Structure 1
Amino acid sequence: MCTHTPKCPVAESSDREAAYVVAAHPEKGWSLLCNGLVLFEDTGELLPDGRVIAPHRPVAALA
């Protein structure tokens, strides 16, 4: 799906969120990346094969 040079990371790689955004819908809270990943504003992800990656926001340090 990616036509960029250099190629964007594939959806199965650990750096998959570094791919280019091809469709952004911030009003709905999601973006489609060129590797087929749907990235949600809560940091959850939907992989092209339907698998779900749970939100992974950093945990704030306790004072």
Structure 2
Amino acid sequence: MCQHQPPCPSADSADREAAHLVAHHPEQGWSLLCNGVLLFEDTGELLPDGQVIAPRRPLDAERVVTAA
């Protein structure tokens, strides 16, 4: 699938997110890498074999409490 030199990491390698972007759709919250991995803005991933990688950041991490 990947034509880059050196080749991008495969979808099953630990550094799979280092692959080049093929498509980026921030308005929809996802990007496609050349190794077939779908990255989602919540840090979740969908691998080409259908395996789901759960988001790594807590959903409440962006909440900031400010004093009035």
Q: What's the TM-score once normalised by structure 1's chain length?
A: 0.89
Distance in 2 (CA, whole Å) between partners of 1:35 and 1:4 is: 11
Q: Which has the higher contact order (CA 8 A, sep 6+)?
A: 1
Q: Which has the larger radius of gyration?
A: 2
Higher helix share: 2
1:57 deviates by 2.0
Q: Which segments of 5 or more consecutive residues in structure 2 lack a partner in the other structure?
A: 62-68
Gaps of 5+ in 1: none
* Aligned counterpart, 2:10: 10
Alignment length (residue pairs):
59
**Which residue matches 2:45?**
45
Amino acid corresponding to residue 7 of structure 2 in structure 1: K
- The yes-or-no answer on 1:34 pairing with 2:27 is no
